[in-house]
Structure 1
Amino acid sequence: MQTRVFQKFGLPAVVGAIDGTHVKILAPSEREWQYVNRKDYHSINVGAIVDDEYRFLWFSSRWPGRSHDSRVFRESDLHQRFASGQIQGRLVGDSAYRAESFLIKIFAGSNLDQQQRNYNKAICKFRSCVEQSFGQLKRQFHALHATLRYSPERASKLIATAICLRNVAVGLFEPDFGEEEEEYFEDYDSDVEQEGMEEYARCSGRRTMEVIARNYF
């Protein structure tokens, strides 16, 4: 996959694109407030990583809608495996995620040089794969566009099943369904926990982004 991504987008050592999407659920009887997301409805926050061919490589469908996208990933075993070096390669994320040596995103701001702008274009182009994957998932299983009338635990299992079946469809090269715009949450990396380590990780991520922009764009 790393070779394909480099040939298509010019991004080195990238193994996937990460993002989150929300699936509506009924207000649960317990911890109801934790499921109210920033758009003021109850949901499950589904985090996922996909490849350049729209396959889901990893997902988490157990977090309540109030949870931040970055937390869904940061508290996963997968994050620890990337951070410890057990998994080699980089992920591409949006502004919701903290830049780290293994997770890169666009350069913010308007005062960017040409290499940074070219890098940003490549990041956005590849990151669209995960947005399209969520759209394809919800078009194939249209119940995920409506409200799942189940407990959070049951809804989580249904979402997981839908993702697994979506991968089967991708593997069989089944045609996509009609286009429908996916709801987008403009989320930001606003967490302040473990401030010292977070600042170190951000600096490491920024350096990685600078090296890629300078050497490849």
Structure 2
Amino acid sequence: MDVSTFEFLCFNLVPSLQRQDTNMRSAIPVQVKVTVSISRLATSNSMQSIADLFRIGQQAVNQFTHAVKLLLLKRFIRWPSTTTMDKFAREFEDIHGIPYVVDAVDDSHIPNVALSLHAADYYNRKGFHSILLQGVVSSKYLFWDFDIGWARSMHDANLWGRTAISQFCKAGKLAPYALVGDASYPCRPWMLAPFRGDNLWKTKWLQDASDEVHNGLSLMTPSGPARQEKLAINNELSSELGGYEDIVVSRPIASVSKELAQAVDQFSKDYGLDSEKVGSGYIGIYQIYLRADGESPVKEPEEGIRSKKVELLRNQMQMNNIILDAVVICLKEEDGALESKTSQENKLLLRSLAYDTLGDLVLVESYTTLL
């Protein structure tokens, strides 16, 4: 999260979270409350670890997290006004050519650890345990409705019928607009779904439109320990991890697009990174691995400034709609050797790359930690 986003959250939450100092103790600043909440929601770390980090009680962590979550939901996740609906419809028609469609709806796998009770209900057809996240997303990737926590064995149509937005649509609150869903959703006056069959050219329009929600849901796919474990187990780079000082793992935003995965192969090789596309991953996405040798992931200073090469890589990734999952940096030096100046500079540049591309920065003592 950048500074401007953090300040925006604090500014909007001050009226509700600000407390006055008393004779007994000073009030906890709003900035601390927001930081604690974001740490809890973004990392899923235990309340005990977050409480120890900020020197507050576990009960305070729980209270701050729930307060911030409810305030943000009330402000940003709500039924759009008529003016907003008109805006969504115009934006959707400009992109896809389909009138009176405001948003797309779909669900996504959220990997999780097998539960002690009813674990079989959460075991999906792809071979791992997960829960369902259903989202309604605009053409600008703005969420205004979601439902999460259902067992992944549940069918999409069954899940849709149990959600609040489905009842709103049946009551006519969405009229005259409609949503777009894939073939698993029922075809209704408020829901456009592809016809089943071949050579149906209109279905291609609906499929392109429903890709909007795939793109939006991929932005919300967690990068916590459960998902990282699944991705690390099922890749073809595991045997090569020990041969590189720094490894950048990325994936395309659109999980169904091979073109975005192939775009990495067209990167300029001037920055000295090798790319490898290893095909469909464990959870059905295309994975891209950008590999770099520790001593010279980019050219020497006399051949080109390293920061410029990293900037070139970052710009090309943004142009091709590719984001980072993680930048993995090994901190342990072999045989107690001092870290070279080149290696230090490379790690600083990779930290910058992770920050600018919204990737997670993972520090490990050995790459075997990821196996």
Q: Could you tell me which of 184, 205, 210 is aligned with 1:122?
A: 205
| Equivalent position of 2:90 in the other structure | 3
- TM-score, normalised to structure 2, is 0.38
Letter in 1 for 2:131: I
Structure 2, gaps ≥5 residues long: 1-87, 231-249, 256-282, 286-371
1:3 Cα offset (Å)? 1.3
The answer (yes or no) to whether the contact 1:15–1:51 under 8 Å persists in 2 is yes
Structure 1 residue aligned with 2:223:
142
Displacement after TM superposition at 1:11 (Å):
1.0
- 1:15 partnered with 2:88: no
* 3-state secondary structure, aligned to 1:37: coil
- Contact 1:90–1:101 (8 Å) recurs in 2: yes
8 A Cα contact 2:211 2:254, kept in partner? no
Give the match for residue 169 of structure 2. 82
Equivalent-residue separation in structure 2 for 1:179 and 1:126 (angstroms)? 18
What corresponds to 1:108 in structure 2?
Answer: 196
> Which whole-Å deviations, capped at 9, do the CAs of 1:50-96 have from their partners, x for residues lacking one?
00001112111120111111222111111011011022221111111
- SS of the residue corresponding to residue 103 of structure 2 reads strand
Q: Is the 8 A contact 1:24 1:146 kept in 2?
A: no
Structure 1: gaps of 5 or more residues:
149-176, 186-217
Contact 1:24–1:147, Cα closer than 8 Å, also in 2: no
- Equivalent residue, structure 2, for 1:67: 154
Alignment of 1:1-217 (within 5 A): 1-88=88-175, 89-110=177-198, 112=200, 117=201, 119-138=202-221, 141-143=222-224, 145-146=227-228, 179=252, 182=255, 183-184=283-284
* Cα offset, 1:107, TM superposition: 2.2
AA at the equivalent of 1:179: P
Q: Is the 8 A contact 2:109 2:131 kept in 1?
A: yes
How many pairs are equivalent?
A: 150
Whole-angstrom distance in 2 between the partners of 1:121 and 1:106: 8
* CA positional deviation for 1:178: 5.4
Alpha-carbon distance between aligned partners in 1 of 2:119 and 2:185, rounded to the nearest angstrom: 25
In 2, the alpha carbon distance for the partners of 1:180 and 1:55 equals 15
Q: Secondary structure at the match of 2:115?
A: coil
Q: SS of the counterpart of 2:144?
A: strand
CA RMSD of aligned residues (A): 2.3
| CA pair 111-123 structure 1, distance change in 2 beyond 3 A | closer
What percent of counterpart residues are identical?
A: 24
CA distance in 2, matches of 1:12, 1:99: 17
Equivalent-residue separation in structure 2 for 1:62 and 1:142 (angstroms): 17
Give the TM-score of the pair, scaled to structure 1.
0.62
Task: Report how far residue 40 of structure 1 moved.
Answer: 2.8
Higher Cα radius of gyration: 2
